[in-house]
Structure 1
Amino acid sequence: MTDGRRSRSKYQRGLGWDLVCDSNKLKEMAQSIFMAGILIGGLVLGDLSDRFGRKPILTCSYLLLAASGSGAAFSPTLPIYTVFRFLCGCGISGITLSTTILSVEWVSTRMRAIKSISLGYFYTSGQFILPGLAYAIPQWRWLQLTVSIPFFAFFLLSWWLPESVRWMILSGRSSKALKTFRQVAAFNGKKEEGEALSLEEIKLNLQKEITLAKAKHSIADLFRTPTLRRVTSCLSLAWFSTGFAYYSLAMGVEEFGVNLYVLQLIFGGVDVPAKFITMVSISYLGRHTTEAVVLLLAGGCILSLIFVPSDLLTLRTALAVFGKGCLSSSFSCLFLYTSELYPTVIRQTGMGINNLWTRVGSMTAPLVKITGELKPFLPNVIFGTIALLGGSAALFLPETLNRPLPETVEDLENWSLQAKEPKQEPEAENASQRIPLQPCELDLGPN
């Protein structure tokens, strides 16, 4: 019996719910229910965040994750455990969404790309910490409780976070926004500059956003024009394939026959260079090229696992680790790329819909793994093919490197039309440069 099977059997016996033989499929079902919680949480808590603010939803999400995670540790039956895991997924989704929105709305435009990649490194740090805790605490209930209790502290600390000033202005809480601005300025050692701020000055700087916020937009606007239909369709497939293939590798670490704790560390470690390379690539090669390449490479790695014998554990592990790194790069690129492709008036709607697709992919992945009972190679065929389709779809997306963000749908359409005619500019330039040279020939006679 391999180390992975020993770990899995020990895990199943520790649950005390007899998840063996045919009941083993319930473990994959529980994972899908957890992913469903992330999906539902993103839809519900995202709307509540627009209504009641980012900070209250973040605070409540911390409490929800802490309480439901602790409840899962003491679950007497599998159905109760899955309910708590569903709530854990909702809490994680609320924390991720609120944190991302707060960072975008507080950080300056030129720092958003760096901030986005930096936040991803905290996720990587968690992947390093978890294997150590799992090795030190082999009982799953105590491990579950250990990783859940710190969120009670995060729940208390979140009360000191400032609310989004942009949200407060757009929601008619201007006086409170001014007070928050001054508190943040004082915290940064710029109390005098904060005191000099006026409500009229803040409204003037955000006048464009206030005007755009008055217009009503819906999901139908994502398909209103040909360019938006192409962007939405291609991005949806890229997001779905990334979440679909990523969780197929993340959940199958025990299948590679390597020590589970060591492999989890390696899976977390590959994110460090992957995110750095992604930051360099999207800054110089562009978002379009980076996204297409990493998804095509990931799909190729997953499909290659079909042809590698099971006894070549080192090669199989190397392919899985490289594929996982490519999919991590895809996530990092997509967050920035999507926000740059959609116009301001529907940017949040576009981000929400595409985030929904990646949750659908991650929720579907555990169910696809069950098809391995019919043919062992079938899951990898499905995961790899979908990743290749996502990479191919990214090839049809326009490049956004060094281009201004579109504010309206019309801006995106005009920008797309200009991008289709890049070769006409050099010819026009050369023609204009030849015109001044013609009269110069008339002055050559006296010489």
Structure 2
Amino acid sequence: MASQNLLNNFTAGIPGHHCYVPNGTSWALDQNISVLEVDAPEMLQVYIPMDTNSKPSKCRRFRKAQWHLVMANMSAVRTHVNFTEAETETCQDGWTYDRTEFDATIVSEWNLVCTLRPLKQMSQTIYMGGVLAGAIIFGGLSDKFGRRALLIWSYFQLATLGTCTAFTNSYLTYCILRFLTGMAVSGVILNSVSLKVEWIPTKSRTVVGTLSSFFFTFGQMILAGVAYQLRDWRKLQVAVCAPYFICFLYSWWFSESARWLILNRRSEDALKQIHRVARINGKPEMVDKITLEVLESNMQKEIQSSKSIYTMYDLLRTRVMRKISVCLMFVWFSTSFAYYGLAMDLQKFGVSIYLIQVIFGAVDIPAKLLAMTSLSFLGRPISQAGCLLLSAAAIFANIFVPSDMQTLRTTFAVLGKGLTSASFTCVYLFTGELYPTVIRQTGMGFSSTMARVGSMAAPAVLILDEFLPTLPSVVYGGSAVVAGVISLFLPETLNVPLPETIDDVEEKWGTQKQTSQTMKETVALQDMKEGEDGKSTGLDAL
């Protein structure tokens, strides 16, 4: 998934460029000047003016060759040049691109520079718009048709359309396919998270959730290596999308969520899946002990609740659900807002884009280990708030670092990005534990929708640096501070069994009367459902 969300850093990288320099030989011969007397950098000065930073302009060229700039001692040239003002024009014949960092990108292919430069950012915004649409569409559909079915379809859509993107010949088609690919990415993330949360035992959920997030980190680092080897955007596009066909094939092996099956009045199918889990985990004796009667008696209240139809309105209808949804809305938005504000413009750091991508990925590992430790011992709200507030501190620190201290500025940016990545680890796990099974996917879809709004808004904030260079950092950091404080109002879910219904949520956290002793008794009861060797018997999935 990391390869998809951060792919634009490489496929839409902006190579060094300047206006195409025409062949000046004929003009030089007319002036009795040998072009062999002038080397390549000096030839560039003849045609390309300097910008305000004393670098060759990227978007303008001289209307007439300025030979006096390199041969001022030649009277033949001096008489034909206006020293006071040299007229310039836009790049009438296209651009010349530096191939040092990239062989080809969508920017160099469709000339998304100068006046068309906003289209480069637009391609990423459109992709994130697809991720947003996928969160809304696939979130609701998976609560209706199941996690496994939507996950399989999402893998297929991602593999097919992602690969086809590499063969498009127009910018419009490219954006359409990226939008649909973004939808599929949302489907994969939401359904894989829900399957993971609904199958993993309570006491193992933190470790498994954090380990899963490490693979996202590894994906960032692998992406940098693949992009370094494949510097043509089409080859890179195929390299990161074609492997999803493998994911599509092995996803058929997954078991559908037993919780979802029971709540959709498919108890017999749920029983088969639980028996399968018991056999895989070396507990075949549980196959005889867990019967259909046992399932239905243990899940009677949940089965009754499944007769109701739930919509997004139910996320806000009751007091505790409304509190949870509003708080998560801010946390998801701010986490994604700060994360993509730091991670989607790697070229601004002044070092190799491939190196900075690896560094960004590497720092995630200790940050997520810290998050896992905090989640296990300090609990969810404190961990979530800590990650957001510390990331805000790193972002604010950069405001006071002089622009010429590039290494220190990059260090603070890397720390901020690592902490926002750890915040993602917390919020994915936290959200899955807060929403009840009957509406978990709808809740995940609603929450991640706000994340996509944040990821779409992040690039737009960078425009503010034209008014005040420090303003984007103030906005990113301020958003993280607000979300960090708000996350402290969310209820604790450490070692608490998953809620199945909305009534469960209201009872668990509505009165705030659940004492630590009650929680210990709940965990002890949960542990009784697990085998002596710690392996899942299948029953704990209930």
| TM-score, normalised by the number of residues in structure 1 | 0.85
Instruction: Give the aligned partner of residue 196 of structure 2.
Output: 103
Instruction: Give the aligned partner of residue 380 of structure 1.
Output: 473
State the distance in 1 between where 2:282 and 2:438 align: 34
Give 3-state SS (helix, strand or coil) of 1:305's partner: helix
How many residues in Structure 1 have an aligned counterpart in Structure 2? 419
Q: Does 2:117 align with 1:28?
A: no
Which of residues 123, 130, 148 in structure 2 aligns to 1:37? 130
The one-letter code of the counterpart of 1:94 is: G
1:259-306 deviation line (CA, Å, top 9, x unaligned): 211111111111111111111112222322222222122122223323
Does the 8 A contact of 2:320 with 2:505 survive in 1? no
Offset at 1:247? 0.5
Instruction: Give the aligned partner of residue 245 of structure 2.
Output: 152
Instruction: Give the aligned partner of residue 371 of structure 2.
Output: 278
Larger Rg: 2
1:141-192 deviation line (CA, Å, top 9, x unaligned): 1011111111112112212222222222222333333333333333334444
Q: Does 2:255 align with 1:175?
A: no
Q: Does 2:459 align with 1:366?
A: yes
Offset at 1:67? 1.1
Instruction: Give the aligned partner of residue 73 of structure 1.
Output: 166
Offset at 1:326? 1.2
The one-letter code of the counterpart of 2:113 is: V
Q: Does 2:249 align with 1:139?
A: no
Instruction: Give the aligned partner of residue 393 of structure 2.
Output: 300
Unaligned runs of at least 5 residues, structure 2:
1-12, 18-96, 517-542
Unaligned runs of at least 5 residues, structure 1:
423-447
Instruction: Give the aligned partner of residue 142 of structure 2.
Output: 49
Give 3-state SS (helix, strand or coil) of 1:219's partner: coil
Instruction: Give the aligned partner of residue 445 of structure 1.
Output: none
Tell which deviates more after alignment, 154-163 or 22-31. 154-163
Which of residues 285, 297, 301 in structure 2 aligns to 1:208? 301
State the distance in 2 between where 1:67 and 1:84 align: 10
Instruction: Give the aligned partner of residue 83 of structure 1.
Output: 176
Does the 8 A contact of 1:62 with 1:152 survive in 2? yes
Tell which deviates more after alignment, 51-60 or 206-215. 206-215
Does the 8 A contact of 1:227 with 1:413 survive in 2? no
Offset at 1:7? 6.8
Offset at 1:25? 1.0
1:190-248 deviation line (CA, Å, top 9, x unaligned): 44432554222222233332233234444334434554444332221111111111111
Which of residues 388, 397, 403 in structure 2 aligns to 1:310? 403
1:331-389 deviation line (CA, Å, top 9, x unaligned): 12222333444456554443332221111111221222234445443322322221222
Larger relative contact order (Cα-Cα within 8 Å, sequence gap ≥ 6): 1
Give 3-state SS (helix, strand or coil) of 1:214's partner: coil
State the distance in 2 between where 1:345 and 1:153 align: 31
The one-letter code of the counterpart of 1:237 is: F
Offset at 1:96? 0.8
Does the 8 A contact of 1:217 with 1:345 survive in 2? yes
Change (3 A) 1:169 1:185: same
Does the 8 A contact of 1:12 with 1:19 survive in 2? no
State the distance in 1 between where 2:505 and 2:148 align: 32
1:37-71 deviation line (CA, Å, top 9, x unaligned): 11111111122212222222111111111111111
Change (3 A) 1:409 1:31: same
* More helix per residue: 1
Give me the CA root mean square deviation.
Answer: 2.7
Instruction: Give the aligned partner of residue 352 of structure 1.
Output: 445
1:372-411 matches, within 5 Å, as 372-401=465-494, 408-409=502-503
State the distance in 2 between where 1:187 and 1:414 align: 33
Does the 8 A contact of 2:260 with 2:438 survive in 1? no
State the distance in 2 between where 1:195 and 1:351 align: 35
Does the 8 A contact of 2:143 with 2:439 survive in 1? no
Give the share of equivalent positions with the same residue, in percent.
47
Change (3 A) 1:215 1:133: same
Instruction: Give the aligned partner of residue 127 of structure 1.
Output: 220
| TM-score, normalised by the number of residues in structure 2 | 0.71
